Amino acid sequence: MTTLTGSNPTKNFWTTWLHRPIKDYVHPYTGGLLLGLVMFAAFFFTGNGLGASGGLNRYIVFVEDLIAPQHVDRTPYLLKLAGGSKDPLDDWVVFMVAGAMVGGFTSGWLNGRVKIETNKGPNISVRQRWFFAFLGGAIMGYGARMARGCTSGLALSGGAVLSVGAWAFMFSVFGGAYMLAYFVRKEWL
C-alpha cells in the first residue's frame, strides 16, 4: 500500500478553491467597454436595459406572498406583481439579478477577492460602519422605489438611451454624494 507523505489532500483542496491568488482589477476603460457591450446585448436580446431593484423587489414580494398572501391581494402595487395566481418570479429581471449575483461571486472567486471583511476608516468602529451601511442601503432602496429604478436602471439604461431624467438623476446622485462626503470624511481619514 502506498501512502502520500508531505501532502494533505484536504489542505490542497481548500487552498486551491478558497485561497486563490489576488489578481489585479480590470482597467476601467476595458470594464466600461465590456459594460457597454453587455448593455447593448441586453437591449438587443431582451428589449430591456439593466437594473437590479425591480428584481430584488420581486424576490421580496415572492417571500411576502408566501407569508401574507392576503396582504399582497389587498395592496394594488403588490397585486400587479403577485396577485392571485401571478408568480412574482416570472420576469426577466429576476434572472438578470440572479445572474449578476452568481457572476459577481464567480468573478470575485476567480480573482481571489472572496473574503469576509469590513472596510472602514480608523475613526469608526465596525459596529458603526455596519449601522451606517444598512442605513445608507435602506435610504438608497427607498429612493430607488420612489424613483422607480435604481442607479443601474436609471443611470446605465436610461443614460444609454439619452433619457433626460436619467442624466438629471446621476448629476443629483453625484452632487449629493459630494456634499454628504464633506460631513462624513472624518470617519474615513
pLDDT tens digits, 28-43: 999 999 999 999 998 8
Largest CA distance in the chain: 74
Determine the Cα–Cα distance for residues 38 and 104; give it in Å rounded to an integer. 14
Task: Calculate the average pLDDT of the chain.
Answer: 85
Q: State the residue for C-alpha cell 411576502.
A: 64
Give residue 151's pLDDT. Answer: 78
Band the pLDDT of 117: cuts 50, 70, 90.
Answer: confident
Angle between helices 53-67 and 92-110 (to 10 degrees): 110
| The overall pTM is greater than 0.75 | no
Q: What is the percent of the chain where pLDDT is above 90?
A: 27
- Each residue's pLDDT tens digit, 74-100: 998 888 888 778 899 998 889 989 999
For residues 60-84, one letter each, b for 16 or more C-beta atoms within 10 angstroms of the residue's C-beta and e for the rest, the string is ebbebbeeeeeebeebeebeebbbe
Asked whether the predicted pLDDT for residue 46 surpasses 90, the reply is no
Q: Are 81 and 61 in contact (CB under 8 A)?
A: yes
Instruction: Tell me the C-alpha distance between 97 and 46, whole Å.
Output: 14
**How many Cβ atoms sit within 10 Å of the Cβ of residue 55?**
23
Cβ burial of 154 (10 Å; 0-12, 13-18, 19+) is buried
Taking only the tens place, the pLDDT of each residue in 165-187 is 888 888 988 898 899 888 877 77
Give the per-residue pLDDT at 161: 87
In this predicted structure, what is the pLDDT of residue 51? 81
Residues contacting residue 58 through CB under 8 Å, at least 6 positions apart: 81, 88, 89, 91, 93, 94
pLDDT in tens, 132-170: 899 988 988 888 878 777 777 888 888 888 889 888 888
Q: Grid coordinates 464633506 are at which residue?
A: 182
